[in-house]
């Protein structure tokens, strides 16, 4: 079942073993491992955040183009692509972090499903092994809650007016339901992995909203800097 991600499983198992040797607790090892992985993926996350900011910055111009060329779809597409090139918007790069994380997530599922019986932790004393699902569903609920909170926080204060609170809540709620469905009966270690990643994501969003984080976002785009001036 996990044959196509087995090479990734082998790599992750070796890496996780290194963190276990340091922490001497599988739960702490997973938390450290998650922070390590998310740290490696930070450049992709930064690029995604920058693309989100760019799409927000060009929205007024995009609306003007849509109004001006609504009767000419060919011209509308041409002018839209010109605006994308001018601003440096790459729509498909928005999904880069999610695409990279998908095989990691699947491999982690396979790793804990097949090897989790030999793992346990004082962090999750209510389960005998990591191969079991969380009978209290605390970790799935916590992971979903952190994900919901993160998705409700705009990258910048200005972006809070881009969509209504109800719209953001509905889209975030759909994502929460999906996470709950995936994690509800998944190995408890996967819930710990996702909870740690969700906490990292929340801290990351807080960083982007800080003065330093905003300057980092602006630094990679001359278009954003010009808009700021």
Domain borders along the chain are 3-228
Mean pLDDT of 40-47: 89
Give 133's strand partners. Answer: 187
Going by C-alpha positions, the residue among 150, 144, 145, 148 that lies closest to residue 182 is 144
Mean pLDDT of 152-180: 74
Going by C-alpha positions, the residue among 136, 147, 228 that lies closest to residue 194 is 147
Q: How far apart are CA 32 and CA 36, in angstroms?
A: 6
Ordered DSSP codes for 111-177: HHHHHGGG---TTSTT-S-TTSB-TT-HHHHHHHHHHHHHHHS-SSSGGGGSS-HHHHHHHHHHHHH
Question: What's this model's pTM, rounded to 2 decimal places?
Answer: 0.85
Tokens of 95: 């999904």
Q: What is the pLDDT of residues 1-42, one digit of tens each?
A: 566 778 888 888 899 999 999 999 999 999 999 999 999 989
Q: Which of 103-112, 153-162, 166-175 holds the top average pLDDT?
A: 103-112
Task: For residue 171, give every residue at least 6 positions away whose Cβ sits within 8 Å of its Cβ, in sequence order, or none.
Answer: 151
Tokens of 132: 């079991």
Going by C-alpha positions, the residue among 228, 224, 229 that lies closest to residue 87 is 224
Give φ, ψ of 187 to 5 degrees: -50, 140
Q: What is the pLDDT of residues 194-207, one digit of tens each?
A: 999 999 999 999 99
In this predicted structure, which of 90-99, 122-131, 214-223 has the lowest mean pLDDT?
90-99
For residue 175, the number of C-alpha atoms closer than 13 Å in the C-beta half-sphere is 17
Residue 24's region, left for phi above 0, alpha for psi from -120 to 50, else beta, is: left
| 94 in Cβ contact with 52 (< 8 Å) | yes
Give φ, ψ of 185 to 5 degrees: -115, 15
Q: Which residue has the higher pLDDT, 97 or 132?
A: 132
Task: For residue 155, give every residue at least 6 positions away whose Cβ sits within 8 Å of its Cβ, in sequence order, or none.
Answer: 49, 52, 53, 56, 205, 208, 209, 217
In this predicted structure, which of 52-56, 75-79, 131-135, 205-209 has the lowest mean pLDDT?
52-56
Tokens of 81: 């692509």
Mean pLDDT of 182-201: 92
* Signed CA dihedral, 158, 164, 166, 169: sign only: negative
């Amino acid at each position: 079942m996990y044959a196509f991600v087995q090479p990734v499983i082998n790599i992750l198992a070796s890496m996780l073993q290194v963190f276990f040797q340091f922490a001497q607790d599988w739960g702490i090892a997973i938390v450290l491992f998650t922070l390590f992985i998310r740290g490696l993926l930070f450049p992709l996350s930064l690029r995604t955040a920058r693309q989100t900011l760019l799409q927000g910055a060009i929205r007024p111009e995009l609306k003007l183009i849509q109004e001006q060329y609504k009767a000419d779809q060919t011209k509308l597409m041409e002018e839209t692509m010109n605006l994308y090139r001018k601003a440096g918007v790459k729509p498909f790069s928005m999904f880069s972090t999610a695409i990279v994380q998908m095989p990691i997530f699947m491999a982690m599922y396979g790793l804990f499903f097949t090897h989790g019986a030999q793992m346990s932790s004082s962090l999750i004393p209510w389960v005998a092994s990591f191969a079991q699902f969380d009978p209290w569903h605390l970790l799935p609920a916590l992971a979903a809650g952190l994900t919901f909170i993160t998705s409700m926080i705009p990258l910048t204060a200005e972006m809070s007016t881009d969509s209504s609170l109800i719209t953001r809540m509905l889209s975030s709620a759909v994502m929460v339901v999906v996470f709950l469905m995936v994690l509800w009966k998944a190995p408890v270690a996967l819930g710990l992995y996702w909870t740690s990643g969700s906490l990292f994501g929340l801290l990351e969003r807080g960083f982007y909203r800080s003065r330093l984080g905003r300057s980092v976002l602006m630094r990679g785009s001359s278009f954003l800097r010009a808009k700021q001036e």
